[in-house]
Structure 1
Amino acid sequence: MTQTMPAQEQHVQPGRESKMHPAPVYDDPHYKSAGKLQDKVALITGGDSGIGRATTIAFAKEGARIAIVYLEEDHDARETQQCAQAYGSEVLLIKGDIGDVAFAKKCVNDTFEHFGKLDILVNNAGEQHTAAEPEDISHEQLLRTFQTNFFSIVTITLEALKVMREGASIINTSSITAFKGNPDLIDYSATKGAITSFTRSLSTKIVDRQIRVNSVAPGPIWTPLIPASFSADKVAKFGKDTPMGRPGQPFELAPAYVYLASPDSSYVTGQTIHVNGGTVLNG
């Protein structure tokens, strides 16, 4: 069934979930938890909204304690924290810019200091900026996009590896754009390609530590990044070109992150799960 969203725009990256209409659906009322992450500690970047919020809620349902990293969206972060706490989770909020190396390292250290361990790392935060022509991509934009989307992942992951132990799981948010590109998001797509290669390479390097590294590649998902990135006209058509004819909701991705975080995926590393509304990709 084809479904479109109302035309709307936001002018601040990475966007505010509280200002979206309709609001993204992040809590699946039909989700059946089974304690798959009981007593686990997770660090989720961009956990205040969108895919990160849905993953936070699903992890909370499965028994995890969670540290959420967010840029500046206090309202969204508190709302996510309160929802996760309602499911019995303990949630630590960490505010700051993961593009800053010192802060990126601090996220890991604060999580470890507060909870005493780190079992799951979800590198999810990101930003994107459209460019009508390739020549419109400024050097500043290129550096900023890579700093947020890729360099921060490397920094946080390497810091996390200092405290992670056997059985830990690292999950990176890639994108459909890493596999098929996007003419208006060239630098963003490049960062997601880098994430995919990083996932595959790191997984082979640390497989003997019994730490798994995988990624999820979302297609068009209704998150704050969408109205914060595109014109109102494009937002109104967002996701319509998928085989399912609609954008996905954040809750529809969360089970993929639960699977990769839990022992259910004990024989899975270096892989990418595609959650994109039916687009077939070989990769």
Structure 2
Amino acid sequence: MTEQQNIPGQVQPKMPADEHRMDPAPDYTPRHPGVGKLKGKRAIVTGGDSGIGRAVSVLFAREGASVGIIYLDEHKDAEDTLKLIAAEGAEGFSVSADLGRRDEAFRAVGELVGQLGGLDVLVNNASMQFEQTDLRDITEEQLRRTMDSNVMNYFFTTQAALDHLPDGAAIVNTASVNAFKGNDTLVDYATSRGAASAFSRSIAKQLAPRGIRVNAVAPGPVWTPFIPGSLPENKVEDFGSHVPMGRAGQPWEIATSYLFLASDDGNYFTGQTLHPNGGTIVGS
């Protein structure tokens, strides 16, 4: 059982923020020995440098996958993740790209597919959030940045990946509990996560004839660089204590949902959403 960590107040002046600057460090370490659930598979994880993306990348590596990560500009975090993938005995590759631009998404995916030698699993995870307490304070620049990062990103990266994914492949998209319960201070972010859910369900239907399964994971509060990068210090302190389990989740606890959906364990799942959120009851 994971206990609540004492999370001191802290902020970082940029989004995406840096995992290596967080205190305490997020816990990405898988808890069980690998059994080859993804042996021989090639996976791309966007936002794989840190947070949930790092935990997913390390877990996939432990289960036998070669992993390519795409990140924006968090170079040290990306280097650290590649070292963790290598420590699991797997090949890891990285590329920096702004996935909100179609040409960048196609470049990044093409480069990683070339290094991996193919593609079997796509995890769309990279995203951003910015807090505003008044809808009128969400500027056009912020709104477009949120949608480029969280919606256009998923469209472009998936479009690029479909040129390479074989029949029977898997796509897992990150959504959020906020898409289901709403969030009065993260209106544009919650809206974008609702789009991720609708996107997942829609392309699940489109790709079902090819046997490509498309699902989503909708995490609740998780201790990742999102938090010090987007929330004020007083909200970071003891972050996550409001959920029924009384604590924030750790990235490793969320990554297991992605493994289930990416592997044969989730073979009869498509168009579905898993909810690792600490006990918040939402419609699925």
Shorter-chain TM-score bucket reads: over 0.9
1:175 aligns with 2:176: yes
1:202 maps to 203
**Secondary structure of the corresponding residue to residue 260 of structure 1:** helix
> Do the aligned partners of 1:10 and 1:227 also contact (CA within 8 Å) in 2?
yes
Distance 1:81 1:214 in 2: 26
In the TM superposition, 1:51-90 aligns within 5 A as: 51-90=52-91
**Residue type matched to 1:119 in 2?**
D
Per-residue deviation at 1:127? 0.4
1:5 aligns with 2:7: yes
Per-residue deviation at 1:116? 2.1
Runs of at least 5 residues in structure 2 that lack an aligned partner in the other structure: none
1:97 maps to 98
Deviates more, 1:183-192 or 1:109-118: 109-118
> Do the aligned partners of 1:3 and 1:245 also contact (CA within 8 Å) in 2?
no
1:20 maps to 22
**Secondary structure of the corresponding residue to residue 230 of structure 2:** coil
> Closer, same or farther in 2 for the Cα pair 1:81/1:3, shift >3 Å?
closer
Aligned length: 282
Per-residue deviation at 1:99? 1.5
**Secondary structure of the corresponding residue to residue 154 of structure 2:** helix
TM-score by length of 2: 0.97
Distance 2:97 2:222 in 1: 24
1:252 maps to 253
1:229 maps to 230
Distance 1:203 1:163 in 2: 17
**Secondary structure of the corresponding residue to residue 93 of structure 2:** strand
Which whole-Å deviations, capped at 9, do the CAs of 1:175-229 have from their partners, x for residues lacking one?
A: 0000001100000000000000000011011100000000000000000110000
**Residue type matched to 1:26 in 2?**
Y
In the TM superposition, 1:109-148 aligns within 5 A as: 109-148=110-149
1:212 maps to 213
Per-residue deviation at 1:163? 1.3
2:46 maps to 45
> Do the aligned partners of 2:127 and 2:150 also contact (CA within 8 Å) in 1?
yes
Identity of aligned residues (%): 45
In the TM superposition, 1:179-190 aligns within 5 A as: 179-190=180-191
> Do the aligned partners of 2:170 and 2:213 also contact (CA within 8 Å) in 1?
yes
2:154 maps to 153
Per-residue deviation at 1:32? 2.6
**Residue type matched to 1:139 in 2?**
E
Q: Which runs of 4+ in 1 moved over 2 A?
A: 1-4
**Secondary structure of the corresponding residue to residue 81 of structure 2:** helix
Per-residue deviation at 1:3? 4.8
TM-score by length of 1: 0.98
Per-residue deviation at 1:65? 0.3
RMSD over aligned CA atoms reads: 1.0
Runs of at least 5 residues in structure 1 that lack an aligned partner in the other structure: none
